[in-house]
Amino acid sequence: MGEARAMTAERSVGLDCGRTVAVVAVVFVHTQANVPFTTACDVATRFAVPFFFLLAGFFLRVPAGPIAPALRQVALRTLAPFALWLAIYLLWFQPPMSDWRSPIFLVKLLVQGGPAHHLWFLPSLAVSSALLLVLLKRGAAPGTVAAIAAGLYLVGLLFGAYHDAVFGGDFFWNTRNGPFFGFPFMAIGALIARSPVRPTLAASLAILVAGAALHAGEIVTLDRFGVRFEHDQLLGTLPYALGFFLTAMNLPANAATSALARLGPYSLGIYCVHLLAIEGVQAALAPVAPTPPTSPYLVGLLAAVLSIGFCAVLVQVPALAPLVRTGRRTPAYGKATLRPAG
The pLDDT value given to residue 34: 73
Q: Could you tell me if 211 and 236 are in contact, meaning their C-beta atoms sit under 8 angstroms apart?
A: yes
> Distance between CA 73 and CA 54 in Å, rounded?
19
> How many alpha carbons lie under 13 Å from residue 29 in its C-beta half-sphere?
20
What is the predicted pLDDT for the residue at 320? Answer: 77
Q: State the Cα–Cα distance between residues 19 and 195, nearest whole angstrom.
A: 22
Cα separation, 250 vs 239, whole angstroms? 16
In DSSP terms, which residues pair with 111 in a beta bridge?
none
Length of the chain: 342
Give the separation between CA 3 and CA 15, rounded to whole angstroms: 20
Does residue 335 fall inside a structural domain?
Answer: no
What are the distances in angstroms from CA 152 to CA 48, 145, 231, 305? 20, 11, 17, 36
Contacts of 176 (CB under 8 A, 6+ apart): 120, 124, 156, 160, 182, 230, 232, 233
Task: Check residue 118 and report its DSSP letter.
Answer: G
Pick the closest to residue 336 from 265, 242, 267, 249 (CA basis).
249
204 domain residue, yes or no: yes
- Whether 270 is covered by a domain: the verdict is yes
Inter-residue contact 78 to 70 (CB < 8 Å): no
Per-residue DSSP letter, 335? S
Would you state the pLDDT for residue 326? 67
- Is 136 contained in some domain? yes
Report how far residue 108's alpha carbon sits from residue 120's, in angstroms, rounded to the nearest whole number. Answer: 9
- Cα 342 from Cα 328, distance rounded (Å): 25
State whether residue 7 is helix, strand or coil: strand
Q: Is residue 178 part of a domain?
A: yes
Contacts (Cβ under 8 Å, ≥6 apart) of 179: 124, 127, 128, 131, 152
pLDDT of 2 reads: 37
Distance separating alpha carbons of residues 287 and 49, to the nearest angstrom: 33
Residue 189 lies in a domain: yes
Instruction: Decide: helix, strand or coil at residue 192.
Output: helix
Q: Which domain holds residue 314?
A: 13-323
- CA-CA distance, 340 to 199, in Å (whole number)? 12
Identify whether 5 is part of a domain: no
Distance CA 192, CA 278 (A): 35
Is 71 a member of any domain?
yes
Distance CA 207, CA 205 (A): 5
Residue 306: closest CA among 322, 284, 329: 284
Distance CA 56, CA 52 (A): 6
DSSP code at position 33: T
Domain total for the chain?
1
Of the candidates 234, 147, 159, the one whose C-alpha atom is nearest the C-alpha of residue 187 is 147
Q: What amino acid occupies position 78?
A: T
pLDDT at 7: 37
Per-residue model confidence as pLDDT tens for the chain (342 residues): 333 333 333 578 999 999 999 999 999 999 987 776 778 888 899 999 999 999 999 999 999 999 999 999 999 989 999 999 999 999 999 999 999 999 999 999 999 999 999 999 999 999 999 999 999 999 999 999 999 999 999 999 999 989 988 888 888 889 999 999 999 999 999 999 999 888 999 999 999 999 999 999 998 888 888 776 777 899 999 999 999 999 999 999 999 999 999 999 999 999 999 999 999 998 888 776 555 567 889 999 999 999 999 998 888 888 777 777 766 544 444 443 444 343
What is the pLDDT, as a whole number, of residue 155? 96
User: How far is CA 243 from each of CA 112, 167, 209, 211, 240, rounded to the nearest angstrom?
Assistant: 27, 31, 8, 7, 5
Q: Name the nearest CA neighbour of 40 among 276, 212, 195.
A: 212
Of 21, 78, 3, residue with least CA distance to 208? 21
